[in-house]
Structure 1
Amino acid sequence: MMSLSDAVNGFSGEIAWNCADRSLFGACQLETGDQVQVVSSYFGNVIIKAKGKRLAITRDAAERIKLA
């Protein structure tokens, strides 16, 4: 299992575990089992596409999201 901060551009996967602060994601909550695609990754900070939206996630939050 790897963290979202370790994913590379173009990676598609499923969220296996999310212990990031849910208030960071606003109306687009990421749940276990959701499909995500990494649009861009820069020094651990990532932009993902999930549920038809794009989200920018800081390195600290991305380290708490594990992918299957």
Structure 2
Amino acid sequence: MTESLRWIKSSYSDNGGQCIEWAPEHANTHGAVPVRDSKNPQGPALLFPAPQWSHFVEYARKQSV
């Protein structure tokens, strides 16, 4: 599954090596968000329901201000 996905990093990533990547097209078509460690792209990916991922992202945004 993970090989055919287009993975992206956050626009806030500074390439310091502590990043995650996600596949937005999969989220849009399947309602679930695959997330993986950018340092290990061949490793496992976690799959989160889209609403829970949205809540997590919103929480993270609020913590960074």
TM-score (norm 1): 0.38
Instruction: Name the one with the larger helix percent.
Output: 2
Higher CA-based Rg? 2
Which TM-score applies when normalising by structure 2? 0.39
